[in-house]
Amino acid sequence: MGSQETNASQSVYRGIFKATSLFGGLQVYQILVNVVKSKFIAVLLGPLGIGIQGLYTSALQFIQGLTSMGLSSSAVRDVSEANGTGDMVRVAGVVKTLRRFVWCTGLIGLLVVLFLSPVLSKTSFGDSNHIVAFVCLSVTLLIDQLCAGQKVVLQGTRRLKQLAKASAIGSTVSLFVSVPLYYLYGIKGIVPTLILNSITLLLLSWVYARQVSLPKVELTAKETIRNGAGMLKMGLAMSWSSILVLACTYVLRWFIRTESGAEAVGLYTAGFTIINTYVGMIFTAIGTDYYPRLAAVNSDNSKMKTLANQQGEIAVLILAPLLLICMVFMPLIIQILYSNSFLEAADFVVIAAVGMMFRLGAFLIAHQFIAKGDSRLYVINETITNIYFLAFNLIGYKFLGLTGLGLAFALSYLIYFIQVFLIAKRRYSFSFSSEFLRIMIGQTALVLLCFALVMMHRRVITYVFGTIFILISGFFSLKGLNMRMDLTGVIKHKNN
């Protein structure tokens, strides 16, 4: 029995690692593509151009958050549950409901941007020179919502390879679309680039989603609303959360522009992209598979706890070495990704990197609220969280500039981690396993030591001793992964 339990445990960890590796590999590829694209954009547009692009994006994402009903996240739960029953008629009904909803919400988003384009131009840039740009970009809200619906189908039916292919090809095409347009038109190429990128992703997601064979079903309008009630309920809760996040991002970027100008927004955007997209790739890799599996066992608190701890162990072992590399070599990373004019963002990213460890712990827990469909708790929790997130960011930037934003990021996620843990402990009897805590505490200690080293701003000393920290963290990570999945045995088996 002990041997069977060991094999079963290894199988679970391998499944987690396999899914994480699939989308982790995708994220790495996308990062490589984005490195090339970001380098060209940084050189061709500079901080001002990136700041303008960031203001367009944050304004559109805010409206999308208002109108999308959170379907890109909440519907995964419904499709995944239906797919788990093996009843393809039920799956087809959920998918048809979803597709009708994304058309409606996408059209609403388009019309809202059209109507509010003068307001968006005035609040984002302080003038009316960008009204036409927002009018043109309004179509991306419909396109992106339709694309989101197709991706939900792929994720909910566990077509993870197809989802990964669509994303990988989309990143590649985006590179070959963006660079020539920015080269030829500079800042004027931002709007057509954003539109063409959205169209590309829609076409690719549509091609792969069509491969999911579903029977034809007929649904009346009343049946659509009735079948999608749960989807909409949780979706509205998640939409509220997205609105808060996007509103806070929008207000923060507006505040930075008001205090220091559009170039400062560009520096913040570059730093936030590194920490949230490049370093945060592990969260995307985890969430794509973790959320559907968590939703499948949402009625069993014990199974949810076990799954969260197993997922967390693998995630920490992967994330910690990446954070150390990011912290130690941040100046070089910024020069590679952008240019020397973005080096002011280095301290912001290094400090924020510490907060990523707390963010991971919170991520593992907060997804349980969503999987449970506990919309009221989710809304209250996210509302409180975003209030102090924004307050810390505004105060931090006012007194310490970009460094203050890094401190605000780390402090906010520490508080958030404690907050969701206490809620889950009381509501779902959640607790972290001793094994997870051992790994988390050990790797976090290395991150904090490395942070102290980097903040000395002695580059040679940082590179020498920082590399030692990276090797130590990497050694324990490989040892931990091997212990859980028997990587040595797998490699020997493949070689024989």
CB 345 within 8 A of CB 264: no
**Interior CA angle at 269 toward 264 and 274, to 5°?**
130
Q: Number of C-alpha atoms within 13 angstroms, CB side, residue 258? A: 13
- Phi and psi angles of residue 280, each rounded to the nearest 5 degrees, phi first: -75, 10
* Helix, strand, coil percentages for the chain (3-state, nearest 5): 90, 0, 10
Q: What is the dihedral of CA 383, 437, 316, 322, to 10 degrees?
A: 100
Distance CA 1, CA 323 (A): 39
First to last CA, the chain: 27
The one-character DSSP state at 214 is -
Range of the domain at 342: 2-495
Of 411, 121, 407, 396, nearest in space to 255 by CA: 396
H or E element: which one contains 466?
A: helix 459-485
The DSSP element (H or E) to which 140 belongs, if any, is helix 139-156
Q: Quick one: pLDDT at residue 1?
A: 43
Question: Could you give the CA distance from residue 159 to residue 23 in angstroms, rounded to a whole number?
Answer: 12
The secondary structure element, H or E, covering residue 194 is helix 190-209
* Spatial separation of the C-alpha atoms in residues 465 and 199, rounded to whole Å: 47
* Number of CB atoms found within 10 A of residue 106's CB: 25
Q: Which of 281, 413, 418 is nearest to 359 (CA)?
A: 413
Query: What is the number of domains present in the chain?
Result: 1
Task: State the angle between helix axes of 375-428 and 301-328 in degrees (0 to 180), rounded to the nearest 10.
Answer: 100
* Confidence at residue 450, expressed as pLDDT on a 0 to 100 scale: 95
Q: What is the pLDDT of residue 465?
A: 94
Residue 22 has a pLDDT of 59
267-288 CB burial, b ≥16 within 10 A, e <16: bbbbbbbbbbbbbbbbbebbbb
- Tens of pLDDT, residue by residue, the chain (496 residues): 445 555 555 666 666 666 666 555 666 676 677 667 767 777 777 777 777 877 888 788 878 878 888 787 778 777 877 776 777 888 888 888 888 888 998 999 999 999 999 988 888 887 888 889 889 999 999 998 998 888 888 877 777 778 777 877 887 887 788 888 888 877 788 888 889 988 988 888 888 888 877 888 887 788 788 877 777 777 788 778 777 887 888 899 889 989 998 888 888 988 888 888 767 677 877 777 787 778 777 788 998 999 899 889 988 998 999 899 999 999 998 888 787 888 899 999 999 999 999 999 999 999 888 888 788 898 899 999 999 999 999 999 999 999 999 999 999 999 999 999 999 999 999 999 999 999 999 999 999 999 999 999 888 999 999 999 999 999 999 898 888 776 666 555 555 5
To 5 degrees, how large is the angle CA 188–CA 191–CA 196?
125
